[in-house]
């Protein structure tokens, strides 16, 4: 739904060109004037994809809580991940087919590609795979709630890598806002046992930092790939990203769940919630790509952080959750951070 709406506005891609001005080695393929006309529709696109990502991320977390309440996962997580990639691939193809029918096949929306274009697409998928493997080992040093706290290091690593790799500047106020975002999200997640995190052994800290860097790097690298060819249709870019996602997840099925799939079948343990989660993950994944194309990693981080707070508020009504004082304080800090980020942009 959101996805369709966004697709129809593909022609305004030119609008993202001015985002790329400061980066070397990127050429503007469309005349400047078109970029200016697109300013308003660019803003619209940014807003739509950001809201979609926020909505999908928070409903994702709610589905997870729901599935946990309904009982333990008894399906293979690797098969579900594979299906998420496959569904994203299918949706990208469907969008492309529709586009080919209306606009015909052009240089920008054709599926065929060069080795030069496609060679970088496996990298984010490979980084995520390494990160997911590390995830199993970090639990030797930190418990699950502690890991949730440490995951907020992603915010800082994304900011730093965004600066280094994409060479995009954040104003001083925006940096301050980013530190606040990290502190605010962590505060909102505090619980009486959170102090254990401070006793995390040195190896645990190193792994948490490495994982944050891998995750931040994968995100920033995806943005770099997608923005490198601003006029290329996002659905083609997504198609290639997701093809490699499927390939890497197929390997994960073979390595981790081969026996389970062989004995109990590919779809063993699937339920309505599982299907909803797969659909949700697929749509969120597409929303993330859209945010990378039309906005950036910083917007993505803000969007998912706000989604985390929204989830908690919605859970109060759905699951009778109680909000802690720490949650209110963290939310206040995150709100001020969002405000400062927008102010910092104006004053840059």
Binding site for its own copies (CB under 8 A): 149, 172-173, 176, 179-180, 183-184, 186-187, 190, 192, 194-195, 197-198, 324-326, 328-330, 332-333, 336, 339-340, 343, 347
What's the half-sphere exposure (Cβ side, CA atoms, 13 Å) at 344? 17
- Smallest gap from Cβ 240 to its own copies, in A, equals 40
Helix, coil or strand: residue 243: helix
Show Cβ contacts of residue 155 under 8 Å, excluding neighbours closer than 6 positions.
Answer: 178, 181, 182, 185, 301, 305
66 vs 55, 271, 306, 316, 323, CA distance in Å? 16, 12, 20, 13, 18
Nearer residue to its own copies within complex by CB, 130 or 179: 179
- Smallest gap from Cβ 171 to its own copies, in A, equals 10
- Contact of 53 with 303, CB cutoff 8 Å: yes
- Smallest gap from Cβ 61 to its own copies, in A, equals 21
What's the half-sphere exposure (Cβ side, CA atoms, 13 Å) at 193? 7
- Smallest gap from Cβ 182 to its own copies, in A, equals 8
Nearer residue to its own copies within complex by CB, 112 or 347: 347
- Smallest gap from Cβ 144 to its own copies, in A, equals 16
- Contact of 109 with 99, CB cutoff 8 Å: yes
Cα–Cα distance, 53 to 59 (Å, whole number): 10
Q: How many residues does the chain have?
A: 348
Nearer residue to its own copies within complex by CB, 66 or 175: 175
What's the half-sphere exposure (Cβ side, CA atoms, 13 Å) at 136? 5
Nearer residue to its own copies within complex by CB, 262 or 325: 325
- Smallest gap from Cβ 180 to its own copies, in A, equals 6
Nearer residue to its own copies within complex by CB, 276 or 338: 338
Residue 267 backbone phi and psi in degrees, to 5: -100, 20
> CA dihedral in degrees (295, 164, 172, 41; nearest 10)?
-10
- Smallest gap from Cβ 340 to its own copies, in A, equals 6
- Contact of 185 with 193, CB cutoff 8 Å: no
Closest CA to 16 of 41, 34, 37, 42: 42
Cα–Cα distance, 340 to 197 (Å, whole number): 29
DSSP state of 142: S
Q: At what angle do helices 272-294 and 202-228 cross, to 10 degrees?
A: 60
Nearer residue to its own copies within complex by CB, 187 or 222: 187
- Smallest gap from Cβ 179 to its own copies, in A, equals 6
Nearer residue to its own copies within complex by CB, 79 or 186: 186
Nearer residue to its own copies within complex by CB, 81 or 154: 154
- Smallest gap from Cβ 341 to its own copies, in A, equals 11
Nearer residue to its own copies within complex by CB, 30 or 329: 329
């Amino acid at each position: 739904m959101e996805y369709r709406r966004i697709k129809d506005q593909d022609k305004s891609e030119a609008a993202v060109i001015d985002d790329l001005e400061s980066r070397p080695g990127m050429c503007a393929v469309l005349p400047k004037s078109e970029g200016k006309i697109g300013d308003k529709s660019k803003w619209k696109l940014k807003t739509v994809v950001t809201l979609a990502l926020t909505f999908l991320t928070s409903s994702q977390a709610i589905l997870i809580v729901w599935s946990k309440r309904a009982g333990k996962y008894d399906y293979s997580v690797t098969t579900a991940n594979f299906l998420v990639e496959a569904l994203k691939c299918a949706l990208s193809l469907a969008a492309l087919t529709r586009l080919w029918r209306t606009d015909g096949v052009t240089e920008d929306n054709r599926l065929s590609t060069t080795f030069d274009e496609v060679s970088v697409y496996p990298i984010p998928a490979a980084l995520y795979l390494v990160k997911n493997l590390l995830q199993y080992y970090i639990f030797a040093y930190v418990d699950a709630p502690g890991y949730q706290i440490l995951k907020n290091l992603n915010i800082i690593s994304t900011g730093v890598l965004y600066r280094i790799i994409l060479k995009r500047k954040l104003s001083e106020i925006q940096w301050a806002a980013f530190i606040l975002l990290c502190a605010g999200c962590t505060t909102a997640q505090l619980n009486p046992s959170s102090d254990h995190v401070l006793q995390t052994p040195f190896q645990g800290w190193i792994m948490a930092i490495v994982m944050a860097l891998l995750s931040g790097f994968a995100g920033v690298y995806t943005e770099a790939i997608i923005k490198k060819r601003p006029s290329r249709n996002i659905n083609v870019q997504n198609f290639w990203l997701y093809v490699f996602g499927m390939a890497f997840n197929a390997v994960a099925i073979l390595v981790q769940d081969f026996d389970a799939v062989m004995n109990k079948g590919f779809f063993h343990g699937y339920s309505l919630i599982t299907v909803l989660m797969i659909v949700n993950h697929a749509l969120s994944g597409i929303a993330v790509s859209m945010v990378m194309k039309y906005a950036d990693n910083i917007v993505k981080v803000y969007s998912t952080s706000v989604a985390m707070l929204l989830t908690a508020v919605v859970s109060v009504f759905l699951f009778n959750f109680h909000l802690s004082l720490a949650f209110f304080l963290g939310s206040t800090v995150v709100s001020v951070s969002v405000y400062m980020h927008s102010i910092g942009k104006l004053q840059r």
